[in-house]
Amino acid sequence: MAVAFSDQVRIVANDSARWDVFARHESDVRWYCRKFSSVYVSASSATIVDEDGREYIDFLSGASALNYGHNPEPIKHAVVRYLSEDGILHALDLHTAAKRDFIAAFCETVLKPRGLGYKLAFTGPTGTNAVELAIKFARHFTQRETVIAFTNAYHGVSLGSLALTGNRSKRAAAGIALPGVARLPYDGYLGDGLDTAALFERLLDDPGSGIDMPAAVILETVQAEGGLNTCSPQWLRRICETSRRHGIITIVDDIQVGCGRTGTFFSFEGMGIEPDIVCLSKSLSGIGQPFSLVLLKPALDCLPPGAHNGTFRGNNLAFVSARAALRYWSDPLFQSCLERLCRTLRDRLDAIARGFSQLHTRVVGRGAILGLKWPDATMANRVSAAAFERGLIIETCGARDEVLKLLPPLTIRDDELESGLQKLEGAIADAAGHATDLIARGQDHE
C-alpha cells in the first residue's frame, strides 16, 4: 500500500471511492489524513483498526490527547453509565453534580497531594481556549499587554494563542498581524554557550530594551510541537524568579505534556517552580472528549462574572470521564508502570540511536515524550512513512519536521509497545536503505 502525501496523488493512485467524500467535501486544510491515509473504524488501548481490518500501533495518541489509550474500559464504563441515566450532558456553566464531583476529585487527587491551591476556570473545551483565557487573566490582572513567548512555542491557533505560537506558516494563515507578544529564545536555542534566561533577565531589567514590561511569560517545559526541546530546572527557575521580581505572571502550557506525559501529572513537578497559571486539556478528559481547564492562583481570579464564556464549557460527559481518569492517579500500579514506560522508551531509543549512529540521530525529549532528532526532515519523514507501511502511526515534529516524536499511550500494553518499537526499528532500517529521497514535504504540522 503506497503512502501518499496528498489527496491528489492518492486519488490518482487508488481510484476507490473510499476517500472521495473527503477529497470532494472536506477543506484542503486537513492534515494528518494525508500522511496516515486510511479510514479508521475502531480502537482500543494502543491499537487502531481501519475499515479493511488492518491494525496499527498508535504512537501518536491524538497528539497526547489519549494518554490512557483508546476507549479505556473504566472511563468508557463511566461515560456509558452516565448516558444511560440521562445524566445532564450540556449545562453551560450551571452547577451540576458531575461537575462538582470532578472538581472535588481534581482537588483531592491532583492539587492537594502536590500542595497546590489553584482555582479552576472552565473555558471552551479546547487547548487554545484555555490559553486565551490564561492570557486574559494575566493581562487583566497586570494591566499590561505584552506576553513573552519562546521560539518554537506552540500554544494554539485562535488569534490570541496564535500570536504566541512560533510556527511561521501557521502564523501566516491568520492574514493579520499578531500583536501583544515579544519573542525570546528558549533554553538552549543558541547552544549550550548561552544562557537565554540571562537575556530574558537583562531585557526586563533594562528600561531601554524595547520590551515593554510584560503581563506574562508562557512556556512549555517540553516544546512538543517545536521539536521536543526541553528546558533545564535552572533555566526555568531563573525565568520564574525574574518574572516574580517584575510582577510578571508565569503560565505553563501543560496541554500536551501535562496529564502524566513527562512521568508526573504536571510536567513541572520537581523543577522547583509553581507557575501562577497552568493550562490543561488534551488528555484531561481521559477518553478524547473535548475538555480544558485553566488553573490559577486565587489572587489572579480577577475577571468579573460572565467576562469570559463559551457554549461547551460545561461538557458534563467530560467531567464524568475526566473524573474516572483521575482514578489512575490514585493507583500506585499506574505510577510504577508509567515510570517503567519512561525508562523503557529512553533505553530503547538510546539503543536505536547508537545502533544507527551513522545516521546522526539523537534522542530528545523527556519522560514519555521522546523523539529521534535527525539532521533534517528527510529521514524523519521517511521513517514515519515506512513505519506507517509497517502498521505504526508515528509523527514528526520540529520547525522543519526533523524530529520523529514518540507519543505512545501511557497505558500501552507491553506487547503493543514491543510491536511498535520493532516496527520503528524496521522502519528506520527501511528508510536508511531507501535509494531515493521522498519529495520534501515543505509543510508543517501540529
Residue 46 CB coordination number (10 Å): 25
In degrees, rounded to 5, the angle at the alpha carbon of residue 230 between the alpha carbons of residues 282 and 118 is: 50
Are the beta carbons of 280 and 130 closer than 8 angstroms?
yes
Closer residue to a second copy in complex, CB, 160/365:
160
Strand partners, 371: 364, 405
Q: How far is the CB of 212 from a second copy (least distance, A)?
A: 6
Shortest Cβ 401–a second copy spacing (Å): 10
Which set of grid coordinates corresponds to residue 52?
Answer: 479493511
Which long-range CB contacts under 8 A does 358-361 form with residues at least 24 apart? 359/428, 359/432
Dihedral, CA atoms, 230, 233, 236, 241, nearest 10 degrees? 180
> For residues 270 and 442, which CB has a smaller minimum distance to a second copy in the complex?
442
With respect to a second copy, which residue has the nearer C-beta, 33 or 359?
33
Nearer to a second copy, 34 or 423 (CB): 34
Identity of the residue, 32 or 334, whose beta carbon is nearer to a second copy in the bound complex: 32
* Residue 220: CB minimum distance to a second copy, A: 13
Considering only CA atoms, which of 56, 46, 58 is closest in space to residue 1?
56
**Cα 18 off chain centre by:** 30
Residue 260: Cβ within 10 Å count: 25
Nearer Cβ to a second copy (22/334): 22
Integer Cα distance of 264 and 258 in angstroms = 8
Return d(Cα 181, Cα 399) in angstroms, integer.
19
Q: How far is the CB of 347 from a second copy (least distance, A)?
A: 29
Buried b or exposed e, range 76-103, using 16+ CB within 10 angstroms: bebbeebeeeebebeeeeeebebbeebb
Retrieve residue 322's grid coordinates.
475526566
When the beta carbons of 292 and 361 are compared against a second copy, the nearer one is 292
208 or 433, CB closer to a second copy? 208
Smallest distance from a second copy to CB 355, Å: 29
Output the smallest distance, CB 426 to a second copy, in A: 22
Nearer to a second copy, 129 or 250 (CB): 129
Is residue 32 within 8 A of residue 56, CB to CB? The reply is no
- Residue 348 beta carbon to a second copy: minimum distance, rounded to whole angstroms: 25
Report the C-alpha gap between 237 and 152 in whole angstroms.
20
Give me the least distance between CB of 340 and a second copy, in Å please. Answer: 25
**Cβ neighbour number for residue 122 with a 10 Å cutoff:** 24
Place of cell 479505556: 72
CB of 102 to a second copy, least distance (A): 10
